[in-house]
A and B are shown apart, each in its own frame.
Chain A
Amino acid sequence: MRITRRKVLSGSAAAAATVATGIYKPALANTDPIQIGYLPAFTGPSSSTGIGIGRGTQLAVDEINAAGGIKGRKIELVMRDTQSEPTKAVNAAVELTRRHKVTAMWGPLNSGETAAAIGNIARDNVPMMHPCWVDVLIDVKKYPMAFRNAPSNQQIGGAANHYVVNVLKAKKVAVISDTSGYGTASLDAYVPMLKTMNGDVVYSGSVDANNPDLKPELLRMQSAGAEAIMPWSVNAGFLARIINTRAELNWDVPIVGQTTLGSGQTKALLAKPEYWEKVYPNNFRNVCYDAAGQFPPQSAEFVERLKKAKVEVSDTLLWWIACGYDGPRLIAEAIREAGTGAADIVSYWNTKVSSWKGIYGTITFTPDNHNGFLDEGVIMCQANSLKDGAFKLAPGYT
């Protein structure tokens, strides 16, 4: 056959038209990375949490990608630092969901930023996993695509109340908070809960966190016969003053409450290190060590992996890293098993995540309950036992 210029041109045009109209489709696998939106606070006042969770998140993604990704596609974290500011979290969330069209969102990682951004993420129909404790941040009707891989505030308060009433067997309890939104909301939520557990609340009140003298409050508690103090505040200064005042009164009543009781900031503000005795903050069973100094097997193996990967633990908390490690794995598993469609991911979480063994805790989701963390995972620990980012279980747990 004679090849003419006309034949070459007409053939090329036909080929171009075939490719352009999509009639021709090569049978090649999609190797584009799967983009996951990621909104940590790496700077600003909430950054210590963001940095800790970030280390776990990065390790999880590195491991998934090193193992070949999800069906040959790597995970790409599209990260924006919220700088601990809710307005920046909203802007970043909109950018990730609309411009980048991410497959799913991990975060924001702090309640204030999630409260601001969750409405936008829900409107854009993007599946979302977050670790924020504030109760209203999970609502299957308002935010049907939002799931939590951490406990809610109800579970945190419930675990502390259970410890005081059922483990310490304290009959009379004093509950104190600062006057912040978190403090007063916790007081309002936990005091009735305590009463339903037959706890006798002999003192309850909110105090300005800057008040330098808490002796009158503790004297009131003491004269009312309180056998345990439950402070609800994230203000290290306020908590340290309660602990210092207890020591000044030579009162050895246990102090049971929020995780900040066990923070380095609180410790630094104590008049003497020994004042940290009999202080029991919330923590999580999987990432606490027992009286023999042993982690549960799965966590022990995880700690070894952290060491091998040279992930620094000593300047942060193990439960932050574990929480950060579980979040992306839940997202990756749903994509691997159900695909990248938003409805498919949500459907997978709703129906297939049952007793999912995370490092941070065991997760079970149902269509009616997107609070995945099991109550048994929330426990109390000994504040003065911090070692390599982890605490010892409080007395009474085995």
Chain B
Amino acid sequence: MLVQSIVSNGLAVGAIYALIGITYNVMFSASRVFSFTAGSVGMLGGVFGAIFIGQMGMPVIIGFLLTLAVGAILGVVIEFVTVRPVLKSLDQHLYVLSTLAAALMIQQLTAIYFSTDAVPFPRVIPFETAFFDQKFWLPILACIATIVGLEYLFRHTLIGRAFLAIAEDNYAARALGLPETRLRIASYALAGVIGVLAGFSAGQLMFASLSNGPLYNFYGFVPVALGGMGSNRGAVVGGLALGLFQQVANYFFGGVFSSVAVFVVFIIALLARPEGLAGAATARRV
């Protein structure tokens, strides 16, 4: 039972962290901006799922699609409000302030208009499984679907290649005539969709709760740093490893000490490989 608990919870929580890590990455690739709104967007996935399906009584599929639509709109708003104004002065890192401010606003508005308490998230699939409940496999399924979808998008579609071109060198991409601004907006919409998908799929495990925002922000950042900035595969490996390690630490150290253990390992990993586990060391021009 213990191993089952560690594996099921570890993989599920790890998949949520991985999805938030991918959200960070998709925003970063398109703009070189590290947007600290990723966790709050994830939190809203649970909140809007609970509102549409649980409170308004919509069919699950409609509620799910509407939640994704909200995520896409939110991503675009974040691009317009917090990213675009600071793009010209990236070296001053103003995006830290603007995106953190947006994240705080999202948290406050959720507290005012939704709830400060955790709210139940409805069952998404109308059947029970004795061994491996949907609250565990839904985040894993969402993570697999996302990584497969992104791989297909980036490798087999023209727009996906355009995304990669922008991520690789946006000046060169613009010189080739690629619509950088529109692609950046689309990237943020995509990031918003992935973020709310993380929160929606995690709803039954984590509840629809305001407090998930900072949690996702912190723990979603770890796989990005571990896996390498911009590497989605690295984020998935880092996220799943983090989730499993956290559950093992939860069992062996218990309580608050599991968080300490997680961050000790995180710091050691970064000291050993500052570029991340899947990242490549960048050559410095001298």
Contacts and interface: CB of A to CB of B under 8 A. Distances in A.
Q: A and B, one complex?
A: yes
Interface of A: 45, 179, 205-213, 215-217, 219-220, 235-237, 240, 265, 268-269
Interface residues of B, number: 27
A220 B258 CA distance: 15
A383 to B, nearest CB: 16
Contacts, number: 67
Nearest to A270: B120
Q: Chain A's interface: helix, strand, loop or mixed, by majority?
A: mixed
B59 to A, nearest CB: 21
Interface of B: 1-2, 5, 9, 12-13, 111, 116-120, 205-207, 209, 211-212, 215, 247, 250-251, 254-256, 258-259
Given A265-B117, A265-B118, A213 B5 contact: yes
A45 B111 contact: yes
B209 A237 contact: yes
B208 to A, nearest CB: 10
A210 B215 contact: yes
Contact of A208 (B5, B13, B212, B259): B259
Contacts of B247: 213, 216
A216 B9 CA distance: 11
A237 B207 CA distance: 8
Nearest to B111: A45
A219 B254 contact: no
Nearest to A205: B255
A220 B207 contact: no
Given A216-B251, A220-B254, A268 B120 contact: yes
Q: Closest 10 interchain pairs by CB?
A: A237-B118, A45-B116, A213-B9, A216-B251, A205-B255, A215-B5, A207-B255, A265-B117, A268-B120, A210-B215
7 contacts: A45-B116, A179-B255, A208-B259, A211-B258, A212-B206, A215-B2, A220-B254
Nearest to A217: B254
A213 B247 CA distance: 8
B259 A237 contact: no
Residue of A206, A209, A216, A235 with most chain B CB atoms under a 10 A cut-off: A216
A219 B212 CA distance: 25
Given A205-B255, A216-B254, A269 B207 contact: yes
B29 to A, nearest CB: 29
B6 to A, nearest CB: 8
Nearest to A177: B255
B254 A237 contact: no
A205 B253 CA distance: 11
B116 to A, nearest CB: 4
